Amino acid sequence: MKFFIDTANLKDIQEAYDLGVLDGVTTNPSLMAKEGISGHDNVMAHYKAICDIVDGDISAEVIAVDYEGIIREGEMLAELHPNIVVKVPMIKDGVKAIKYFSEKGIKTNCTLIFSAGQALLAAKAGATYVSPFVGRLDDVGTDGMSLIEQIVQIYSNYGFQTQVLAASVRHVIHLLQCAEVGADVVTCPLNVITSLLNHPLTDSGLAKFLADHKKVNI
């Protein structure tokens, strides 16, 4: 399973990369705004800075919601770097644009997936990734993990090459459940990734080893 970090914060991206487990990055306009990145040139420069850190797929989201606008923005983003994946919303014109991009060899990430039917349409159109939102479904009383499992099964049934990128992954349990049901990718904040390091028995065991070592080396 691939680990992507869901942020536009360069420090967090660098830390995850230095850990040696980072495969890619997902971003969106909200994450850019959170870092105070605004204006077309600044946003483009920030995407380039992310690509300079991570040698992996970097999802960059279009703002347009009409077919021509999505194509225009997507082609511009794809020209920034070979690792850019054009992030497109799950809407009718978005699906049409994904088909266009797939025929042009431009990688895509269909975002805001909340049903298996949406994921099926995106895969039929040739999406490189689909992003079902686990946490947001949980927020409205729906089992987000069941959707991940369902999409994985459907793609397996028919041999779709589209990768299931589990998004809105908020804690370690989400991440491990995604691994159990076969998600290809999880994207999450840095703290979720680093939380995998932690266990109280590891801490207490290390403390005992160090204490015993100190005793025999007095």
Positions marked active-site = 87
What's the rounded Cα separation, in Å, for the pair 44 and 138?
33
Alpha carbons 72 and 84: distance in angstroms, whole number: 15
Q: Round to whole Å and give the CA distance between 160 and 141.
A: 29
